[in-house]
Amino acid sequence: MKMLINVPETVVADALRGMAAAHPELTVDVENRVVVRKDAPVAGKVALVSGGGSGHEPLHGGFVGPGMLSAACPGEVFTSPVPDQMVRAAAAVDSGAGVLFVVKNYTGDVLNFDMAAELAEDEGIQVAKVLVDDDVAVTDSLYTAGRRGTGATLFVEKIAGAAAEEGLPLERVEAVARQVNENSRSFGVALSACTTPAKGSPTFDLPAGELELGIGIHGEPGRERRPMMTSGEIAEVAVDAILEDLAPRSPVLVLVNGMGATPLLELYGFNAEVQRVLGERGVPVARVLVGNYVTSLDMAGASVTLCQIDEELLRLWDAPVRTPGLRWGM
């Protein structure tokens, strides 16, 4: 497989150096693997810290900035960051108002963020944690106990980030983040496997003419394999799987997310089918976001995330945000 890299061992460091050069509004510590908004700590503001394995860009480093994360900790490709990174990030952004850790439900992330929270609290930093577990495809997987954390991570980071930007206290920002996660469900599909730089070949075998329904963002197995389906058929499977679990009573946010190698031409077409299915199922849509936001290296495919919202959550979603990966209203 041909890749635009130097050597696999320096992929993350090289990407962070490039990120620093492209985004002077961020402080990027390449050696210690921490990305921080340059104006942190912001007096009186709750700080949001997240992180995870690299390979899912723009998640998480691309969501650092006003209106979203205060800091992010990138691990090696598909590998959790270590507690020292998280503690360093928390110390860099804590203003005394506390820090909220946003943690995707993967075993390594959960264990390391739990340890980091204890270490940070030993240093006098008040920490709260929110676990994102929105994927309805499978209950347990190769990397998790319980549901995986996927596309809803973006909704949690954006909406809780807006709440923090308004100066809400830690317990309220945490409550908002939990509400968003509880109201969100996701389902993904892979048309091809991804390729990690270290392996240099596809991480699993997906024969030509087949797709994997319910895939995870690390290439974890899904619910089943089927012969290739049309965009409309895939949309029906994904949306129905979500609605079997969510049953929204109010309008929803919709994320149609590319897995890294699917062009916008296809994603917008897929979104048209998602909107058709939601209309046929009687689900009103408040806002739609289409693009590559929670990716899996060069995997072809897409995921759908729905979040049931009320007027307050919608107001926070619409609030200004300025990050490398998401920006409006500023």
Respond yes or no: is residue 60 known to be catalytic. no
Q: What is the pLDDT of residue 138?
A: 81
Q: Based on the domain organization, do 143 and 44 belong to the same domain?
A: yes
Q: How confident is the model at residue 163 (pLDDT cuts 50, 70, 90)?
A: very high
Q: Are residues 40 and 178 in the same domain?
A: yes
Residue pLDDT, tens place only, 217-254: 988 878 899 999 999 999 999 999 999 999 999 999 99
Number of domains in the chain: 2
Q: What is the CATH number of the domain that holds 169?
A: 3.40.50.10440
Q: Which domain holds residue 308?
A: 184-320
Looking at the fold, whether 173 and 191 belong to one and the same domain comes out as no
Task: Answer with the one of 183, 206, 236 that is the final residue of a domain.
Answer: 183
Q: Look at residue 141 and tell me whether its pLDDT is greater than 80.
A: no
How far is 144 from 138, CA to CA, in rounded Å?
10
CATH of the domain at 233: 3.30.1180.20
* Domain final position from 150, 183, 216: 183
**Based on the domain organization, do 177 and 212 belong to the same domain?**
no
Tell me: the pLDDT tens digits for 264-293?
Answer: 999 999 999 999 999 999 999 999 999 999
Q: Of 23, 33, 37, 56, which residue is the catalytic one?
A: 56
Answer yes or no: is 325 within a domain.
no
Q: How many CA atoms lie within 13 A of 169 on its CB side?
A: 2
Q: Predicted confidence band at 142 (pLDDT cuts at 50, 70, 90)?
A: low
Same domain, 282 and 292: yes
Q: Same domain for 160 and 199?
A: no
Q: Is residue 195 part of a domain?
A: yes
193 and 145 within one domain: no
Q: Looking at the structure, tell me whether residues 20 and 158 fall in a common domain.
A: yes
User: How far apart, in whole angstroms, are the C-alpha atoms of residue 36 and residue 13?
Assistant: 15
Residue 59 in any domain: the answer is yes
Task: Calculate the average pLDDT of the chain.
Answer: 96
Same domain, yes or no: 132 and 234:
no
Tell me the C-alpha to C-alpha distance, in Å, between residue 241 and each of 140, 152, 185, 213, 237.
16, 15, 9, 10, 6
Boundary (domain end) residue, out of 183, 203, 219:
183
Q: What is the largest CA-CA distance in the chain?
A: 55
> Do 155 and 173 belong together in one domain?
yes
Computed on alpha carbons and rounded to an integer, the radius of gyration of the chain in Å comes to: 19
Residues 218, 219, 241, 257: which is the catalytic one?
Answer: 218
Stretch 96-118: mean pLDDT, rounded?
Answer: 97
Claim to verify: residue 34 and residue 171 sit in the same structural domain: yes
Whether 295 and 163 map to the same domain: the answer is no
- pTM summary value: 0.97
